[in-house]
Structure 1
Amino acid sequence: MFIQQAFKYRYDFWRYLLGIFIVFIGITLGQIPLVVMAMLEKGGDVMMMDENEMLSILDSNLTLFLMLLTFAVGLVFLLVHVKVIHKQSVLSLTTSRKRIDWSRFWFAFILIAVFTIVITLLDYFTNPGDYLVNFQLEPFLILVGVAVLMMPLQTAFEEYFFRAYLMQGIGVLAKNRWLPLFITSIVFGGLHFFNPEVGKLGNIVMIHYIGTGFMLGIITLMDDGLELALGFHTANNLVAALLVTADWTAFKTNSIFKDVSDPSAGWDVIIPVFIVYPIFLYILGKRYGWTNWNQKLFGKVEKAETLNLSEEA
């Protein structure tokens, strides 16, 4: 089992607390290039600005690269900590299978990418007044390069930190599956509270962020691995960055379209979480033969007697 295999390594809870601190240090250090570039452009005044004002100083492609670099540095710190302090392999942090199943990653990636593109184009043709064609070849090509290179690192950091590291750490402490699912999903969603989308659309949009956390946590537990969650999350962020931007989003990019509508949140937030996500779960469950949902989501996490106890020292 995905959580259970953490017992094979050094799983003392203080190691996980240290890991959270190490990740915080990595994220903080990863922000330095963005702050330095903003200071070179604007001077010391940037220290008095909020995050959104600082991000508006630089070219959008450079800003995106530096924002995503923050998560890339955090990912490196996390994986080094897991290897050195927990003596755990990246493979066991990724999946319970003997090797990473990239076909799972690509199935989820294509499923979400196609769905997002189709829904966006339907909305564009149905409500053309809500969009401007924002496409400019050279900035868009640079955006593609930055997004394809860096976006997978950003989503990998979030998945490895929440759905792998914290899921396993809380799971081996609580000896169950439901508590890590709830904690990681709520914390993951809660950390999006300061996104500009929340300020523009209102707190109701938190249903989307927390619901997405639960969706990713459920597919991780049901599939005993991160591959599907990685594909889902990467496609969601990558396609969104390339396809549509708006002045009120966290990622302001040189995308194909720009949303110029007066945004509001209501059924368009609720429907994906309570209707679309269950459909995705049904599709994935049928394809990969998921069974015993109650045990996998709410069952106990018990240490197998066959594990080599010397590996825990």
Structure 2
Amino acid sequence: MGYIEQLLKNDKKPKLWQYIPFTVFFLGIMLGNWLIVKLFKVSTNDLISKRIAEVGKNMNFLEMIVPFSFLLLFLIIWVLFVHKQSLLSLTTSRNKVDIKRFVFSFGLWTAVIILGFIYSYWTEPENYIFTFDAQSFFVFLLIAVIFVPIQTSFEEYFMRAYLMQGIGLATRSRAVSLFTTSIIFGLMHSANPEVEQMGWSIMIYYIGTGFFLGVITLMDEGIELALGFHAANNLVGALLVTSNWTAFQTNSLFIDITPVENILISSLLVQILIFLPLLTFIFARVYGWKNWSQHLFGSIKKNN
């Protein structure tokens, strides 16, 4: 039974109207943030820098990331009590959540991030400043280990689970579900300071990453791999290296001081066009993925 199709197997399947309130609530928050930035010409980077000057990086990071805990809790309660759907069916089509898949994905992408940073530091050390401060870093480490996986889990449970299943049920199309959630995932980051600094071309990176996460979810019939990748991407990245113009400005080990104008969109395309397809290939070989056209573009039918 497929990841989306499993919701059609009994009379307790979610009703389409049940997806509307929470979806409108969360996307309304995202749209509101974007409108504030655009209508009032607010610089999100200036707001972050000002807040850091007032309370410090750790407290600013905590203020930014704790709300995701409430959003995840709210989503879980909504799914359990309004949809009357199990968390297992929201997570995977398997009989139980496969933790090994999460660990494999997390470890693989962590290795890629670290090796990529080592190469970048080796070739252009002038672009990085080692800023390790034991007290600040270890406090941040504790905050990050607890809250970053919650933040990434909410985004995956909302995008690759809740919305993907809901749109799939509404349209009976895996392709529509895949492309729609990928675009929404990209637009969800439109108020980030990265967009302000690099322009809308960075949407290629965000939407491309969302597409990759959607593909591995549909091919693997569960979000375990997506959960692992996303957690590694945000957690390891935040701990290892950040800059003074991104959404996450943290007490990381290194600060990237590369001028924004020197960061080419081509460097982001390397991840989208090379590394993520390579990861997809590895996952496909390890987990024996087959019948790609049906998994990604097939129709959603009962008893599929």
Calculate the TM-score normalised by the size of structure 1: 0.87
Give the corresponding residue for 1:35: none
Distance 2:153 2:95 in 1: 20
Give the corresponding residue for 2:118: 121
Structure 1 residue 24: deviation in Å? 5.9
Which deviates more from structure 2 when the two are superposed, residues 198-207 or residues 95-104? 198-207
Residue in structure 1 matching 2:179, options 178, 182, 204: 182
Q: Is the 8 A contact 1:22 1:77 kept in 2?
A: no
1:149 matches 2:146: yes
Distance 2:119 2:131 in 1: 17
1:227 matches 2:224: yes
Give the corresponding residue for 1:55: 48
Give the corresponding residue for 1:11: 14
One-letter amino acid matched to 2:18: R
Residue in structure 1 matching 2:236, options 239, 246, 250: 239
Give the corresponding residue for 1:38: none
Give the corresponding residue for 1:295: 294
Note the 1:1-313 alignment, pairs <5 A: 1-7=2-8, 8=10, 9-23=12-26, 51-56=44-49, 57=51, 58-263=55-260, 264-304=263-303
Q: Secondary structure at the match of 1:248?
A: coil
- Root-mean-square deviation (CA, aligned residues, Å) is 1.9
Structure 1 residue 266: deviation in Å? 2.6
Q: Is the 8 A contact 1:24 1:74 kept in 2?
A: no
Which deviates more from structure 2 when the two are superposed, residues 49-58 or residues 250-259? 49-58
Q: Percent identity, aligned pairs only? A: 44
Gaps of at least 5 residues in structure 2 are 34-39
Give the corresponding residue for 1:37: none
One-letter amino acid matched to 1:55: I
Distance 1:292 1:261 in 2: 43
What is the aligned length? Answer: 287
Distance 2:42 2:167 in 1: 37
Gaps of at least 5 residues in structure 1 are 32-46, 306-313
Q: Secondary structure at the match of 1:67?
A: helix
Distance 2:244 2:170 in 1: 43
Which deviates more from structure 2 when the two are superposed, residues 258-267 or residues 222-231? 258-267
Structure 1 residue 304: deviation in Å? 2.3
Distance 1:207 1:24 in 2: 20
Q: 1:193 to 1:21 in 2, by over 3 A?
A: closer
Structure 1 residue 5: deviation in Å? 1.4
Deviation per residue, 1:174-211 (Å, 9 max, x gap): 11100010000001011112211112122221111000
Calculate the TM-score normalised by the size of structure 2: 0.90
Q: Secondary structure at the match of 1:99?
A: coil
Distance 2:27 2:204 in 1: 25
